[in-house]
Amino acid sequence: MNIGCHISIRNGFLEAAKTALKLKATAYQYFPKNPRSLSIKQWNAKDAEACAHFCKEHGIYSIAHTPYPTNLAVDDPGLYQATVQSLRNDLSIADACGSIGVVVHFGKYKGTDPLQGYKNIIQCLHDVLSDWGGRAKLLIENQAGDGSSMGTTLEELLQIRTLCSYKEHIGFCFDTCHAFASGLWPAGADGWSQLKDHSIRLGYFDHLLAVHLNDSMYEGGLFRDRHEMIGRGYIGEQRFRDFLKTIGAFDLPVVLETPVLRGQTHAPEIQLVRHLAET
């Protein structure tokens, strides 16, 4: 298990990796480009190569995250093409930086036929990955259920991957807050034990490549996606201890997306997570 947080690339890819090292993180996440746009980015290849080399030298894992407008289930033809090209761009940048993959939300369909939404997702994945030859993967993230119930079950995620012609390029990113908010992670004392057993039965862990570690500002099952600092929300320290006992056996990045007080960093929270994993 490799713990870290989301880091800005404002000063470049290499500087983001160096910031992770300063925080004593062994993993980090970044937006490969403007997080509010699907525009194609022309990136500095030497900076990306230096980032990849630095991370390999220091044993740091990284993952990228798609911009906010990315929606695999989009219907509009023009927006669909922009989404496909943007995802290809994200994958290329992530690959150049030596990242494991690019996290992408499952998708939200705004039409009346949910089945068409699932078809759109599969087609989008097909068009993005049909000629992809890089090592970075698309990491589909489970959703919280706010605004749409799509992507809140493990069965959906696994079925979409199974139906994709290029599933070898697809993995998963598990978001703890989303799972708690959607009810996927039951709020009871043995909730993680139940979800763990369910994940094993379905084979979900076989394709799990990253984790977003976030507490929740709201009680479980309310479909409210609001992140809180670890141990200060409704998931709480004990549930995270149970979770980390399982995830600790996996060699993957565990990334905090939690709020930080002005003028501070994630360093203390990274240490807290390490402590919870050991107790």
Which of helix, strand or coil describes residue 98? coil
Q: Cβ distance 101 to 137 under 8 Å?
A: yes
Flag whether the pTM goes above 0.75: yes
Count CA within 13 A, CB hemisphere, residue 229. Answer: 13
Helix axes 77-96, 45-58, angle to 10 degrees: 50
Contact between 186 and 234 under an 8 Å Cβ cutoff? The reply is no
Taking Cα atoms as reference points, which of 236, 109, 264 lies closest to residue 176? 236
Residues 90-145 have pLDDT tens digits of 999 999 999 999 999 999 998 889 999 999 999 999 999 999 999 999 999 999 99
Q: What is the phi/psi pair of residue 217, to 5°?
A: -75, -15
Which pLDDT does position 261 carry in this prediction? 87
> Do β-strands 253-256 and 227-228 pair in parallel, antiparallel, or remain unpaired?
unpaired
Detail the DSSP E strand segments found in 84-159: 101-105, 137-141
Residue 170's DSSP bridge partners are: 138
Model confidence over 68-85: pLDDT tens digits? 999 999 999 999 999 999
Residues linked to residue 2 through DSSP beta bridges, in sequence order: 253
- Cα angle 177, 274, 23 (rounded to 5 degrees) comes to 90
CA atoms within 13 A on the CB side of 212: 34
pLDDT recorded at residue 248: 93
Residue 1 has pLDDT above 90, yes or no: no
Taking only the tens place, the pLDDT of each residue in 184-227 is 999 998 999 999 999 999 999 999 999 999 999 999 999 999 99
Q: What is the mean pLDDT of the chain?
A: 97
